[in-house]
Structure formats: C-alpha cells, structure tokens
Amino acid sequence: MAITGSTFLRPVTIKILQAEQQLASGEQTGYGLGWRLDKLPLAGEPTAMAGHGTKEDFIGGTAYLMTFPERGITVAVTTNISFADTKSIALRLADAFAAARK
C-alpha cells in the first residue's frame, strides 16, 4: 500500500517504474521496471494491475504481490508450497475486495 499510496516513493517515480517498456522494434513488453503489467478483471471490470511474483520454486516457496492502484487494492500471497498458484489466489482475494466495495 505504501507504493501505491505514495508514502514510500514519489508518484513520478512509481509512474516511471510501472511504465510499460518497449523493445527497439517498438513491441510492448508487458513489463515495467521490475513489474508485470496487465489488465485483469476485478468485480467484472478490466483493471490495470502491476505485480511481481515467483513462478518457480527457488527457496521452497512461492509468492505474488499484486497492486491495483486505481482501486486502492494491494494483495500479497506467500506460501511454503512449491509451485503454488499464488497469482490466482491473489487475484481472487483482490476480486473479493473489489466486489465488496461495489
């Protein structure tokens, strides 16, 4: 929440970090600087997401951090289970919070 709430970094810094990068060919990458960028459905509406997570078992667990700045929702999921689908769990939790705010 500190990242999206502008208490950890200045808003301009967050904007730079979460701006989609492009290749020399002009192709968009879907990534900012350290962030995966996507549009995901929250409470039935496509919503911009900036997140980061592990896909493989590096230390015996997995994690995902998902932020939805325009909705003021941030979810972090960590497990000690190898190859757990933390992204799906985080999205379901974020969706529940978004639905509760409707």
**DSSP symbols for 40-94:** EEETTEEEEEEEEE--S-SSS-EEEEEEEGGGTEEEEEEESSTT--HHHHHHHHH
The 10 Å Cβ neighbour count of residue 44 is 10
Kindly state whether residue 31 falls inside one of the protein's structural domains. Answer: no
Q: What's the domain range around 94?
A: 36-101
Kindly state whether residue 62 falls inside one of the protein's structural domains. Answer: yes
pTM: 0.82
Kindly state whether residue 27 falls inside one of the protein's structural domains. Answer: no
Kindly state whether residue 64 falls inside one of the protein's structural domains. Answer: yes
Kindly state whether residue 11 falls inside one of the protein's structural domains. Answer: no
- The tens place of each residue's pLDDT in the chain, 102 residues long, gives 777 777 888 889 888 999 999 999 999 999 999 899 999 999 999 999 999 987 665 677 888 999 998 898 999 999 888 788 899 999 999 999 999 987
Residue 99 parent element (H or E):
helix 86-101
Structural domain tally of the chain? 1
Kindly state whether residue 13 falls inside one of the protein's structural domains. Answer: no
Kindly state whether residue 6 falls inside one of the protein's structural domains. Answer: no
Kindly state whether residue 2 falls inside one of the protein's structural domains. Answer: no
